[in-house]
């Protein structure tokens, strides 16, 4: 492992866009094209553009450093064409470091790495494959910022997040890892008493409790009324979802027609998978196992279906069942060709916001806050990344300093170390590390 990669590992850098894959592992492969992902295609989130506007040179220089250290032939930074302020700041740095710009349209899911890789490299990542399969690697811009910090010996101890929705003062800020959602929502000032919280964006975010801590993969917290469309879809009992699919799916094919993976040429046809609810023994195995290549973007559920059904939930359940049985999706290597209709079935962000009932929040630009006072207590989950949980290397009662490593992963296991985001005393180490100031 090179010194450059080792510093990334020691700093605990993982995919900050939501995937959480340990970055030192991703960058240890042979890569031809390196791509910085600044699309931030989910409505309402602004943490990436705030970071890019304020740290353009650091991000671009880190992109160039990655390119040079892993031997990639070229490097790109992909962001929305509408980010005029960023491009104005970035242009001289792009020229100075030899990083190429790629201007993205304002649609969902422009930030999906399968979309970005095809748009830039011109090759479709195989089903159940990785960008590496076509010689590419993609990192979120916050991940890349953390790579740059790592080279200066600064570990990951904070996360850029957006707090928005039913709050008086929506904001975006870098906050200490382990900060509870309730602490941040209180700072924003909730406008309603009985609310639900989505961690992440409105399309792919998950419902969490107020006690949920900020993790290395957290992009934001969205505060919504409990009867909101987005909450109802996520709280429908699975049996109800399946019964509804069996009784109401009219096989219109809209879910398939708008599926981003299908439009790239992948053999994913949600409308056929929905037949399984009514005819569980009638479908070929390859149709059913295609559920495993669903990206869970939510378009089928929240945009496409005229009957209010949830192909995404059906696919999620099939993924679980196949995983329990050890079934994996297999691909014969046939070259994939995107459908011509793909260019005409992109979903503009504003139209998406209207469709899913968050338009009233869409026009609000969250305030940027450069510093958030750390809470008195933080909670660090030991699994904030793909792979195995980190193992505590501190004990209850031990005093730790900000930036000190408090958990690590064996060298032969997939994972990343965790560092204290504040000075304090370790209160407990299981199931999470709790530190009090």
Q: Give pLDDT tens digits for 314-347.
A: 999 889 988 898 988 888 888 899 999 999 999 9
In sequence order, the 6+-apart residues with CB closer than 8 A to the CB of 424 are 378, 399, 400, 435, 436, 437
275-288: average pLDDT: 69
Proportion of the chain above pLDDT 70, given as a percent:
98
The residue among 116, 111, 117 whose CA lies nearest residue 133 is 117
What's the rounded Cα separation, in Å, for the pair 116 and 110? 7
Instruction: Please give the pLDDT value at position 147.
Output: 98
Instruction: Please give the pLDDT value at position 333.
Output: 85
In sequence order, the 6+-apart residues with CB closer than 8 A to the CB of 302 are 203, 229, 230, 233, 355, 356
Residues 123 and 134: beta-carbon distance below 8 Å = yes
Residues 318 and 342: beta-carbon distance below 8 Å = no
Question: In sequence order, what DSSP letters do the residues of 367-379 get, joined into one string?
Answer: EE-S--PPPSEEE
236-346 and 158-228+357-375 share a CATH fold: no
For the CA atoms of 227, 232, 237, 239, what is the dihedral angle to 10 degrees? Answer: 130
64-78, 272-286, 377-391: segment of lowest average pLDDT? 272-286
User: For 158-228+357-375, CATH number?
Assistant: 3.10.20.600
What's the rounded Cα separation, in Å, for the pair 365 and 272? 40
Fold topology of 236-346: Fumarate Reductase Iron-sulfur Protein; Chain B, domain 2 (1.10.1060)
Q: Where are the domains of the chain?
A: 3-151, 158-228+357-375, 236-346, 376-437
Q: Over the stretch 23-74, which tens digit does the pLDDT of each residue have?
A: 999 999 999 999 999 999 899 999 999 999 999 999 999 999 999 999 999 9
Mean pLDDT of the chain: 95
The residue among 116, 148, 142, 145 whose CA lies nearest residue 131 is 116
For residues 334 and 305, which has the higher predicted lDDT (pLDDT)?
A: 305
What residue ranges in 141-245 does DSSP mark as E strands?
158-165, 171-176, 195-199, 206-208, 220-225
In sequence order, the 6+-apart residues with CB closer than 8 A to the CB of 191 are 166, 167, 168
Proportion of the chain above pLDDT 90, given as a percent:
88
What's the rounded Cα separation, in Å, for the pair 275 and 293? 18
Fold topology of 376-437: OB fold (Dihydrolipoamide Acetyltransferase, E2P) (2.40.50)
What's the rounded Cα separation, in Å, for the pair 46 and 355? 20
Instruction: Please give the pLDDT value at position 136.
Output: 98
Hey, what are 298's tokens? 């939510």
Instruction: Please give the pLDDT value at position 281.
Output: 47
User: For 3-151, CATH number?
Assistant: 3.40.50.11540
* CA-to-CA dists, residue 326 to 292, 319, 402, angstroms: 12, 10, 42
């Amino acid at each position: 492992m090179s010194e450059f990669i080792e510093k990334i590992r020691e700093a605990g850098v993982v995919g900050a866009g939501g995937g959480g894959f340990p970055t030192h592992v991703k960058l240890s492969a042979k890569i031809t094209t390196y791509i910085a992902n600044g699309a931030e295609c989910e409505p309402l989130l602004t943490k990436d553009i705030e970071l890019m506007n304020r740290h353009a040179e650091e991000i671009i220089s880190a992109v160039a450093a990655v390119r040079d250290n892993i031997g990639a032939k070229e490097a790109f930074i992909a962001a929305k064409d509408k980010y005029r302020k960023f491009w104005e700041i970035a242009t001289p740095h792009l020229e100075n470091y030899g990083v190429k710009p790629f201007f993205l349209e304002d649609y969902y899911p422009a930030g999906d790495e399968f979309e970005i890789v095809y748009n830039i490299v011109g090759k479709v990542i195989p089903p159940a494959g990785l960008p590496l399969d076509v010689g590419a690697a993609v990192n979120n811009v916050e991940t890349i910022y953390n790579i740059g910090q790592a080279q200066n010996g600064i570990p990951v101890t904070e996360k850029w997040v957006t707090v928005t929705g039913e709050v008086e003062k929506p904001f975006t800020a870098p906050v200490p890892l382990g900060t509870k959602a309730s602490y941040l929502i209180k700072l924003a000032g909730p406008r309603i008493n009985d609310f639900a919280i989505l961690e992440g964006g409105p399309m792919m975010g998950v419902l969490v409790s107020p006690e949920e801590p900020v993790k290395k993969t957290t992009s934001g917290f969205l505060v919504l009324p409990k009867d909101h469309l987005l909450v109802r879809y996520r709280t429908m009992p699975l049996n109800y979802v399946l019964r509804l699919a069996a009784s109401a799916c009219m096989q219109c094919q809209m879910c398939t027609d708008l599926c981003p993976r299908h439009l790239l040429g992948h053999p994913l046809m949600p409308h056929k998978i929905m037949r399984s609810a009514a005819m569980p023994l009638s479908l070929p195995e390859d149709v059913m196992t295609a559920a495993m290549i669903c990206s869970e973007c939510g378009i089928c559920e929240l945009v496409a279906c005229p009957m209010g059904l949830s192909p995404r939930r059906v696919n999620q359940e099939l993924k679980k069942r196949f995983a329990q049985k050890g079934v994996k999706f297999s691909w014969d290597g046939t070259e994939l060709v995107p459908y011509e209709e793909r260019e005409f079935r992109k979903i503009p962000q504003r139209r998406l916001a209207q469709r899913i009932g968050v338009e009233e929040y869409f026009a609000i630009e969250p305030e940027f806050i450069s510093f958030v006072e750390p809470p008195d207590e933080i909670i660090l989950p030991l699994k904030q990344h793909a792979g195995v949980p980190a193992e505590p290397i501190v004990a209850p009662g031990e005093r730790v300093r900000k930036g000190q490593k408090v958990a690590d992963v064996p060298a032969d296991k997939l994972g990343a170390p965790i560092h204290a985001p504040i000075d304090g005393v370790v209160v407990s180490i299981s199931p999470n590390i709790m530190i009090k100031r």
